[in-house]
């Protein structure tokens, strides 16, 4: 039965979350952040319905789909699974009037469905959740590669994301930098910064019980592929000249042909690991040599939460509130990055100070309270709109 506006005047705020695929938080950071947003909305008293445009996910993320659907349902999220090949507009036609808020992510999904949300859920607050700003990522990749198709994708993404900022009721971004970028393109947009929730769980292994470097990432994301190819070719040789005993462990989903050939003396390529505790417990330094990308790098936050200090590029540090020499070491050029890696790997005092500084950043900036405080503004707006509609009706 389709609920009309009157059915939404009382009771919890109803949220429909439209995504491109089922969230796979064990496999990629973007899913992890989206799941934390759903949990925050639940803590704020919302009832959540989740629907994915692609029923069976993409190849690299398909292995855990059924478990992830079950996990969402066990967490009291209603999961609507469309038939294979179907799109989401029939769901909006049938049930759009039930919802007070419709969140859409990433930008291709929001661009595709915003018009349908306006038609079929006219009383709902339409929110675009920018996992990261796609046009920023594509522009950076185009500069690094000189690839014209990357530039064209960037221009197309900027048109879509600017239109979404203009036409949606609110946009969620993950950092102040991305908020400023979006407001520069669309000054009138309502843009809220919603970061991530990270729960520190440091391994008790001390400095002396650790050795080597760790990189973690999904290799379905080309920025991670590029980062490891660049690091092994341009940075690791200088690291190994300073200390031949420093090894690199590359861990992450779907390494395939671009990453697996990097394995060799002192370099291991593990692929996906279900339990990362052992990987974080043995590593002394986390490296994030990303040359492009956007948003916040959940992999870096995960390393800080596990007590493993990091050496990062400025791109990898973006939005994380890291201070060079205090909560991470930040370096852009290969030589400087290699020198920072060697220092952090060899100097106990520096290692302990940076590890403690990283944990402090998590407690200040990436807490449950910080996310709930930001999202509560959107929930209040939806509640006020519902009351206005009820009074007008």
Of 350, 17, 292, 337, whose CA–CA distance to 144 is shortest?
292
Beta strand residue intervals within 32-81, DSSP E? 47-52, 78-80
Domains 5-195+367-388 and 207-365 alike in fold: yes
User: Quick one: pLDDT at residue 274?
Assistant: 76
4 has pLDDT over 50: no
- List, as one string, the DSSP characters of 213-247: EEEE--TTSHHHHHHHHHIIIIIHHHHHHH-TT--
Taking the domains of the chain in order of start, what are their residue ranges? 5-195+367-388, 207-365
388 has pLDDT over 60: no
- What gap in Å lies between CA 262 and CA 215, rounded to an integer? 13
User: Quick one: pLDDT at residue 6?
Assistant: 37
**What does the pLDDT average to over 322-347?**
97
**What does the pLDDT average to over 35-45?**
96
- What gap in Å lies between CA 48 and CA 55, rounded to an integer? 18
Q: For the chain, what is the mean pLDDT?
A: 90
pTM above 0.85, yes or no: yes
pLDDT band per the 50, 70, 90 thresholds, residue 66:
confident
- What gap in Å lies between CA 171 and CA 184, rounded to an integer? 14
Q: Token digits for 205?
A: 């292994």
* Residues 52, 104 contacting (CB under 8 angstroms): no
228 has pLDDT over 90: yes
155 has pLDDT over 50: yes
Higher per-residue pLDDT: 246 or 59: 246
For the ranges 246-250, 268-272, 299-303, 380-384, which has the lowest average pLDDT? Answer: 380-384
User: Quick one: pLDDT at residue 1?
Assistant: 28
DSSP secondary structure code for residue 192 in this structure? E
**What does the pLDDT average to over 299-311?**
96
CATH architecture of the region 207-365: 3-Layer(aba) Sandwich (3.40)
User: Quick one: pLDDT at residue 238?
Assistant: 97
Tell me which CATH homologous superfamily contains domain 5-195+367-388: Glycogen Phosphorylase B; (3.40.50.2000)
pLDDT in tens, 100-118: 999 999 999 999 999 999 9
Q: Token digits for 182?
A: 């979006």
């Amino acid at each position: 039965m389709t609920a009309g506006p009157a059915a939404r005047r009382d009771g919890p705020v109803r949220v429909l979350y439209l995504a491109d695929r089922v969230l796979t938080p064990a496999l990629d950071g973007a899913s992890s952040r989206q799941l934390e947003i759903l949990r925050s909305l639940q803590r704020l008293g919302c009832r959540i319905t989740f629907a994915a445009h692609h029923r069976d996910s993409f190849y690299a993320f398909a292995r855990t789909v059924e478990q992830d659907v079950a996990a969402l349902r066990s967490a009291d999220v209603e999961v609507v699974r469309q038939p294979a090949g179907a799109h989401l507009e029939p769901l909006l036609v049938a049930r759009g009037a039930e919802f007070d808020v419709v969140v859409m992510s990433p930008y291709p999904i929001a661009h595709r469905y915003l018009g349908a949300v306006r038609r079929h859920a006219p009383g709902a607050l339409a929110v675009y959740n920018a996992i990261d700003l796609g046009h920023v990522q594509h522009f950076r990749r185009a500069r690094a590669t000189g690839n014209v198709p990357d530039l064209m994708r960037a221009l197309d993404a900027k048109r879509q994301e600017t239109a979404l900022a203009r036409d949606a009721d609110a946009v969620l971004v993950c950092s102040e930098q991305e908020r400023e970028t979006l407001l520069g393109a669309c000054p009138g947009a309502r843009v809220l910064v919603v970061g991530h929730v990270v729960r520190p769980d440091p391994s008790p292994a001390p400095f002396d019980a650790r050795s080597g470097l760790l990189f973690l990432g999904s290799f379905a994301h080309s920025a991670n592929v590029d980062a490891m190819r660049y690091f092994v070719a341009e940075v690791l040789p200088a690291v190994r000249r300073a200390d031949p005993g420093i090894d690199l462990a590359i861990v992450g989903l779907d390494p395939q042909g671009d990453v697996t050939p990097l394995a060799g003396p002192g370099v291991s390529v593990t692929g996906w690991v279900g339990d990362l505790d052992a990987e974080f417990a043995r590593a002394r330094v986390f490296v994030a040599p990303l040359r492009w990308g956007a948003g916040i790098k959940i992999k870096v936050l995960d390393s800080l939460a596990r007590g493993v200090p990091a050496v990062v590029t400025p791109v990898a540090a973006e939005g994380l509130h890291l201070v060079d020499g205090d909560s991470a070491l930040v370096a852009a050029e290969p030589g400087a990055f290699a020198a920072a890696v060697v220092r952090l790997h060899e100097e106990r005092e520096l290692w302990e100070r940076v590890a403690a500084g990283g944990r402090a950043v998590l407690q200040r900036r990436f807490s449950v309270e910080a996310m709930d405080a930001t999202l509560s503004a959107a929930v209040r707006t939806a509640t006020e709109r519902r009351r206005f509609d009820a009074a007008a009706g």
